Amino acid sequence: MRTVSLTSETDLAGWREAARGLLLAGVEPQGVRFRVGGQGGLFDALPPAHPGESRDPVLSEESGGGDWRSSEAPGAGAAKTLGPGVRRDERMEKVITVPRAFPDLAAEVALHRSEDRFDLLYRLLWRVQGERDLLKVVSDRDVADAMERAKNVSRASHKMKAFVRFRQTQDDAGDRWIAWFEPAHRVLEKTAPFFQRRFTTLRWTILTPDGTADWNGEALSFGPPATRDMAPQEDEVEEFWKTYYASTFNPARLKTRTMQGEMPKRYWANLPEASLIPELVARAEVREREMVAAPATPANPRLIRAVAPVVERAAQDAPPPETLEALERAVQGCRRCPLWRDATQGVCGRGPARADLMIVGEQPGDQEDLAGEPFVGPAGQVLNAAMSEAEVDRSHAFVTNAVKHFKHEPRGKRRIHQTPTTSEITACRWWLDAERAIVKPKLIVTLGATAAFGVLGRKVAVTKERGRPIALEDGSTALLTVHPSYLLRIPDKAAAAAERARFVEDLRAARELL
């Protein structure tokens, strides 16, 4: 029995390199075990080289995720068995092929906490050489085992996204948010980019028994394992959060088994609100009777004031922010319309605090919602290319949207764009007007009908008013054109090219007006 030592619990690259060598040498699954740590190096357990072979074959994966091909020169020797029904002639180039689904499956299984996960992967790798459709046979014991472990890893990543609770601390650079979490499987590096996208403007650290993830506002890095005592035990916001949680707990809709299925007890130690659950559950029946018997009452203003510090609200009668930084913070608490409920964050404009040119789009898209910046997705690429062709420097323009939250509907794993309503555009016009007051542009280019409505305050037919300067009350000028996403939706290539040329000409006209 050979034992291969891997460098870490998630050393998929080391496993893959060793598995290639073992497979090429004809080492059957029952003759090898993969373990983490131990004495010796990675290749100490590999079998001796055969005549014409190198001990350490250099391998590279071809594009498409299918072939694992050796760059070793062909040698002479007897044929060897690679797997069930597969034989290799030493005079032939050595090729290891895997189904497209195998690399993704291996990446998930490698994060599982089971000790034999790498043994299972090698057994599957060995078998797929002779059973090309093995991964489609979900009733197969090895395949079902691997898929179940991959599902558990995916579930652990989802739970981490849902149940990480940050606590506020202070350091020399200001606020830092720290969370302690104990994931069911080793999903820290897999899941940390979600928090990077979700909390781009904050500095945060996630501590786990497997390692640490740190975001300093610019780069995501990973460090050694941590212990619970390294995390703060409470902060000022926590009591407000508990108050909010208790106030939203509806005893009439309590289903304890369903709740524990979605919020397993293993995570309760990491959740501040978990300390309230036993009492809330115990008193659910009494509270339900009290709710039925009690007359309707207006919202408790004291509760509203208590919860308000959890998110920085933009009060309806509050004066508009006077700086872009203040506006960026305030928009995260905007409740002027319901769009904030399903969006990741509010997305304000980007550009100089004083700019002669302001470009206004419709709303953030999926990528903008995650990144927290306008026009970074496909439409943004079209806009950048057109501005470059029109010789308009984007870095000198202030680019924003008429609506600050992403409006969408879920469709499978995708989030599909929905056009904002008139009331939503009108509600968000307060923020756009605040940006205009700060930036003070001379010219505003509106991209599409929603942007034109946000700037002009009336519905327009873009095709009729396109390219014609419109004087605004504050002394600036508006110039209407189409949205870049419109160009992406035109199926006919010739028509799309013609519309793109018109779009570039509109941007050239904007440059001339400046």
Answer yes or no: are the C-beta atoms of 402 and 453 closer than 8 Å. Answer: yes
Pairing of strands 204-207, 174-180: parallel
pLDDT higher than 90, residue 348: yes
Comparing CA positions, the residue from 439, 436, 469, 442 lying closest to residue 356 is: 442
Q: What is the pLDDT of residue 72?
A: 38
Interacting residues of 462 by C-beta distance below 8 A, sequence separation 6+: 448, 449, 452, 480, 481, 482
Residue 228 predicted with pLDDT over 80: yes
Task: Classify residue 471 by its DSSP letter.
Answer: E
Tell me if residue 284 falls in helix, strand or coil. Answer: helix
pLDDT single digits (tens) 116-161 = 999 999 999 999 998 989 999 999 999 999 999 999 999 999 989 9
Strands 477-481 and 443-447, how do they pair? parallel
Confidence at 292, pLDDT banded by 50, 70, 90? low
- The pLDDT, as a whole number, for residue 214 is 96
Among 23-32, 404-413, 491-500, the least confident range = 404-413
Asked if 403 and 338 touch (Cβ cutoff 8 Å), the reply is no
Is pLDDT above 90 for 466?
A: yes
Q: Which residue has the higher pLDDT, 77 or 253?
A: 253
Residue 93: per-residue pLDDT:
44
Per-residue pLDDT, 168: 86
| CA-to-CA separations, 428 to 284, 330, 422, in angstroms, rounded | 40, 13, 10
Tell me the pLDDT tens digit for each residue of 374-384. 999 999 999 99
Q: Closest Cα partner for 459 from 448, 445, 472?
A: 448
pLDDT, position 262: 64
Calpha distance 402→342 (Å, rounded): 18
pLDDT band at 305 (very low <50, low <70, confident <90, very high): very low
More confident position, 410 or 254: 410
Phi, psi of 210 (to 5 degrees): -95, -20
pLDDT of residue 173: 85
The residue length of the chain stands at 514
Angle at alpha carbon of residue 256, lines to 253 and 258, rounded to 5°: 85
**Cα maximum dimension of the chain:** 91
The pLDDT of residue 46 is 47
Instruction: Give the angle subtended at the CA of 40 by the CAs of 34 and 42, to the nearest 5°.
Output: 50
pLDDT at 85: 43
Mean pLDDT confidence for 452-468: 93
Q: Return the pLDDT at 501.
A: 96
Task: Tell me the percentage of the chain whose pLDDT exceeds 90.
Answer: 58
Q: What is the DSSP string of 433-452?
A: HHHHHHH--SEEEEESHHHH
Label residues 300-329 b or e (16+ Cβ within 10 Å = b).
eeeeeeebeeeeebbeeeeeebeebeebbb
CA distance 382 to 388: 10
241 against 472, higher pLDDT: 472
- 151 C-beta neighbours (distance < 10 Å), count: 12
| pLDDT surpassing 60 at residue 83 | no
pLDDT for res 1 = 82
pLDDT (tens digit per residue) in 34-61: 999 754 444 444 444 343 343 333 333 3
Question: Which residue would you say has higher pLDDT here, 164 or 212?
Answer: 212
Half-sphere exposure of 422 (CA within 13 A, CB side): 5
Per-residue confidence (pLDDT) for residue 167, from 0 to 100: 86
Burial of 298 from C-beta contacts in 10 A (0-12 / 13-18 / 19+) = exposed
Cα(26)–Cα(222) distance, integer angstroms: 37
Extents of the domains making up the chain: 2-156, 164-230, 236-310, 324-513
Position 268 scores a pLDDT of: 63
SS (H, E, C) 311-353: CCCCCCCCCCCCCHHHHHHHHCCCCCCHHHHCCCCCCCCECCC
Taking 60 as the threshold, does the pLDDT of residue 15 lie above it? yes
pLDDT at 497: 94
DSSP code of residue 187: -
**How far apart, in whole angstroms, are the C-alpha atoms of residue 390 and residue 371?**
27
DSSP label at 50? Answer: P
The span from the CA of 206 to the CA of 189, in Å, is 11
Q: What percent of the chain has pLDDT over 70?
A: 72
pLDDT at site 404: 96
Out of 1.20.120.140, 3.40.470.10, 3.30.300.20, 3.10.129.10, the CATH code matching 324-513 is 3.40.470.10
DSSP E strands: which ranges in 262-418? 357-361, 397-401, 408-411, 414-417
Q: Residue 319: pLDDT above 50?
A: yes
**324-331 helix and 422-439 helix, angle to the nearest 10 degrees:** 160
